[in-house]
Every structure is written in structure tokens, then in C-alpha cells.
Amino acid sequence: MKILYLTDRFLPEISAPCFRAMEHAQVWLDRGHEVTVVTCAPNSPRGKIFDGYRNRLYQTETLDGVRVIRLWSYMAANVGVLKRTLDYMSFMFSSIAMCWRFPRFDVIVASSPTFFTAVAGYVISILRRRPWVFLIRDLWPASIRAVGASDSRALDWVEKLELYLYRKAHYIVAVGNAIKADLVGRGTGQDGSRSGRGDGRALFPSAQSGKAGHHVADAGCVSQRRSRSDHLDSDLHLSLRPFPLRRG
């Protein structure tokens, strides 16, 4: 299977989403899949491009066997609201505009946050006529309100778009019981996920696969909305669940 993984944060940046994306990609490679990661030039958290990189319209490289496509984006430090939003939106627009140059793929995985990456995943799935998986690491815009970053009425419209994307995703992977419960409460599915169409090979290994000796390590940040036990439980029961996908 040819997998396109869309994320605006990737190595050599140092953050949990970057390492998760690479780990997923390497597991899929080991299982015989082809993986292409679409991201931007590394610049987080200061909004300054890393040495050895340029903020070009379209460039490619290979990291540990993973093909990486880097697109132009507006770069801003990880502070404030307006400039960061422009940063996120610029990656979304670049991804959509350049999607015709992406290699052939069977499924697109769009990781959120940021929420705008999920929007890009949905639009690209329509333009390229391929199914997409909505990988939810945190709830937007609920997390914005929860930490007191904003209480604008515009977030109500963002929430409507959020629910629309949940309905349109071919499959949803929710990371954490708090996220899962929220999705269930808003009617996205009886277990927080939506079944894929058709059949296909699972992309994530199953915690119930019968293989003994699972070793789990969680070396990330605990957000203001999630506890340590929630992180651990999500690793064991949610992100490792298999899900069917349609072959292209």
C-alpha cells in the first residue's frame, strides 16, 4: 500500500508529533508499505529555518528510508495566535496547491493538531480521489478554549467545520480516552471511530494480536487536558487498533 502522511511537524524538529510520525512511517516500511511524508521545512519552535534547509516551494529528501516532501510555509515562532495561525494555514494551502505533484498513493493520513492539516487531508482526498484517515492527537478548537488561549465566537464556526470533517473522514483514530469520549458524545461513532470502507491491510499493529511481551514507553509531555494514565491507555488501546482501508 502507498501511504501519504500529512503533518506540519516532522524531524529534525524535536517534538512528540515528529517522533510519532517517523515511528509510524518506519513501522509501515517494515511491513512492506511505501510511505511519503508531506511536511514543511523544519523551523519549530522559534520559527527560524534549521541549518542546511531552505524554505522552497517544493523539495524532497530521504530520512532513514522515508521519502519526505517539504513545502513552503510562512514561519512563525510558537507564541501568540495570529502569526501561528498564518503559519498553520500556509502549510494547508501549500499542501492543497501542490498535491498534484505528490506521488501516487492509496490512502492519506492527516494528523491533527494542527486542525488545518486535517482540512488539507480532506481536500486532497477529494482532488486525488483517495480515502483519508483523520488521526486526532488533540481536539481543536476545544483545546484552545480549555487552556484559555481564546474564547472567540469564530471558534463556534471552527467547531462546525470540525464536526463536518469527522463525518467525512473514511476512518478516525482517536488518541486518548478523553478524546474518544468527546467524539462518542458528539455522535461520531459508537466507539469513537468510524469504520473504513471496503477491506485492506491494517496500518497499525493490534494490541490484541496475540503477540506476547508488549513493551510501552511514554516519553512525552502531559498536556493541560490529558493525564499520564490517559497517555498510557491511549498507547495500549487506541492508536494500536487495526483499521481497514480501501486499496487504490
- Radius of gyration (Cα) for the chain, nearest Å? 17
State residue 217's pLDDT score. 44
C-alpha cell at 176: 486518548
State residue 206's pLDDT score. 37
Could you tell me if 244 and 198 are in contact, meaning their C-beta atoms sit under 8 angstroms apart? yes
State residue 31's pLDDT score. 92
Q: What is the pLDDT along the chain (248 residues), one digit of tens a residue?
A: 999 999 999 999 998 889 989 999 999 999 999 999 999 999 999 999 999 999 999 999 999 999 999 999 999 998 887 898 899 999 999 999 999 999 999 999 998 878 899 999 999 999 999 999 998 887 765 555 555 555 666 667 777 888 888 888 998 887 777 777 877 787 775 444 443 333 223 454 433 333 444 444 444 444 444 444 444 444 433 333 333 333 23
Inter-CA distances, 246 with 109, 129, 166, Å: 13, 12, 18
- Distance separating alpha carbons of residues 185 and 182, to the nearest angstrom: 5
Tens digit of each residue's pLDDT (9 = 90 or more) over 182-210: 777 877 754 444 433 332 234 544 333 33
- Distance separating alpha carbons of residues 148 and 166, to the nearest angstrom: 24
Phi, psi of 111 (to 5 degrees): -100, 130
C-alpha cell at 105: 498513493
Residue 193 sits at the vertex; the CA angle it makes with 67 and 131, to the nearest 5 degrees, is: 45
Could you tell me if 130 and 248 are in contact, meaning their C-beta atoms sit under 8 angstroms apart? yes
The third-level CATH classification (topology) of the domain covering 2-237 is Rossmann fold (3.40.50)
State residue 140's pLDDT score. 64
Q: Where are the domains of the chain?
A: 2-237
Q: pTM score, two decimals?
A: 0.75
DSSP letter for 195, please.
P
